[in-house]
Structure 1
Amino acid sequence: MGVMELSFIFQGSVRSNLDDIKIFIKKVLNKVENIIHDKDLIFDLKLILNELIINSVIHGNQCNDNKYVKLFLEIAGDTIRIEVSDEGEGIDFDIASYNPTELKCCGRGLVIVDGLSDEVYIDNNRIVAVKYME
């Protein structure tokens, strides 16, 4: 018998309100914890989700309560794919150009996400983070 293929999809959206986001992320993580039992991996996913969704609210949607952040999270086999999009203008950010010695707060979240992920793609107002389970 082969290894059981993990498969899970979560799709949802949340209003650009920090209280709503806390509840939303907690709900997503509760569902993921039923599938993934590795506490370190859950911690990484929580950080990635927080950084991407909060970035979308603040930078993309300018904290406008009438705008939403969309989340698509898929676990397929040993791959976790997190896709976050907002209603903003999109970003043009080169992770390689971030200089941590400048102590800027802008860009730091994406550097954290990049460090915790195996692949990160930025496409206008959508960011995809891919993480492989060991």
Structure 2
Amino acid sequence: MRKLMNVKTALLFGLVVAGLSMFGAANKVEARPNFKNIWADTYPDSKMLISKKCGICHPGKSKKEKSDYAEAVFEALGKKRKATDKDMIVKALKAAEMKPSSVEGKTYGDLIKADEMPPSKKSE
């Protein structure tokens, strides 16, 4: 009887640990979903988000790869790169608009208004 009790306890403990680890992992699926939503709110007339989604800032297959535009936004955020505050992110997006892109004579804001993907100097 005692052996059966130990098996049940071990099984229950294992299920609890597995459930908690799955619950904890669910919070880490999307690191910063606010950036995409706030970008859509800041530029509601842009059709770029529909076609490119996260590709505006992450042109490659990996989310670790960032475009020059994303680097300009992160530079504007400063040390608060993991920001979740909407006002702070909007300020960074607006600051990045003013920065010159790799297209001569155009800022990132000009390209966004024209629904053109901001090119990356890295890809040239």
Higher relative contact order (CA 8 A, sep 6+): 1
* Greater Rg over alpha carbons, structure: 2
TM-score (norm 2): 0.28
Q: Which of the pair is proportionally richer in strand?
A: 1
More helix by share: 2
TM-score, normalised to structure 1, is: 0.26
